[in-house]
């Protein structure tokens, strides 16, 4: 079985496709044979990873974020379902998620304003 760790990243991630910041969950497999994971949201819907790199699988949550438990389950090679023993769960609060997204948007806006100001002043 695969050992997994799941976490909500402390900073929102900008998605070029949506043009918005999103809360990101990361599921880390500590077993080399994990090729994919299945994510399940609090409503029981299965989601695919937004991206992966080695044993790290990332999911950008759609806005607005749904409060509840998000599950990450490791698929063994050639498997179509996940055994219960190879999953990890994290609780996500939509109010906290909104603050993470708002902080990223505010920081991004300040950077753009600063760059514009510096350009106007010839810096």
pTM of the model: 0.84
Q: What is the pLDDT of residue 1?
A: 46
Composition of the chain by helix, strand, coil, percent to 5:
25, 35, 40
Q: Report the length, in residues, of the chain.
A: 123
Are the C-beta atoms of residues 90 and 9 closer than 8 Å to each other? no
The domains found in the chain, sorted by start residue, are 4-120 (2.60.40)
What pLDDT digit, counting tens, does each position of 12-56 carry?
999 999 999 999 999 998 877 678 889 999 999 999 999 998 889
């Amino acid at each position: 079985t695969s050992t997994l760790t799941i976490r909500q990243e402390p900073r929102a991630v900008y998605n070029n496709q949506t043009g918005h910041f999103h809360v990101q969950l990361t599921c880390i497999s500590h077993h080399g044979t994990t090729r994919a994971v299945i994510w399940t949201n609090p409503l029981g819907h299965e989601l695919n990873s937004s991206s992966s790199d080695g044993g790290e699988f990332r999911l950008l949550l759609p806005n607005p974020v749904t409060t509840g438990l998000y599950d990450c389950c490791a698929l063994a090679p050639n498997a179509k379902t996940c055994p219960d023993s190879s999953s990890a769960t994290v609780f996500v609060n939509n109010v906290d998620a909104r603050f993470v997204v708002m902080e990223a948007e505010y920081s991004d806006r300040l950077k753009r304003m600063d760059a514009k100001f510096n350009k106007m002043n010839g810096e």
